[in-house]
Amino acid sequence: MTTRPLAALSLLAALAAPLLAPLPAQDRGPVVGVGITMPDFGLLLPINVSPHFRLEPYVMFYSARADYPASSDTAWASHTRVGLGVFSVTHPGETVQVYFGSRVGLLWGSTRVDGASTGQASSTGNGWFAGGAIGGEYSPARRIGVGGEALIEYEHTSPSAGTAVTIPGTTFARAWFSSGSVVVRFYP
């Protein structure tokens, strides 16, 4: 892992820090938690600034391998995302909550192909992403939230380095896509 994702996450945390101060009309300060996502492993830092407003800095890791028996090729793709979610939360304090908003951030990725038809080829790239998200959260206990999130996202990435062989990869594109994940949040 390079220092770029860590530097970006530090910058996001520094930018979110002033928002942690309670507003004069709030009867309590922000509630900060920690969360994880699956199947793409992600670490979340949910900050409930007010009962209806959540900021969520996060870092997400993705890795996949595809084997192509017809050509004896193997492809690996991986990326790291560092971003911020901004959400409106409905029915705060109830057992079931729905949230909706957007996620934006930066992306670093790589693709590698090894096989008889291409030889060895690799490429790295970076870019940004932005999209809308909606999720639901069930709280079986006071400090735990379990739910799911659906995301429609635009990704803009471009190669920054590579071999002479062109790699058609999903990591380097300007494309819309959708995804879903299971989310677990803990509020200590």
DSSP letter at 75 equals E
pTM: 0.73
Residues 8-45 pLDDT 10s:
556 555 555 544 444 444 456 789 999 999 988 999 99
Domain boundaries, position 107: 3-20+29-186
How many domains does one find in the chain? Answer: 1
User: 136: buried, middle or exposed (CB in 10 Å: 19+, 13-18, 0-12)?
Assistant: middle
Residues 113-141 pLDDT 10s:
888 766 788 888 889 999 999 999 999 99
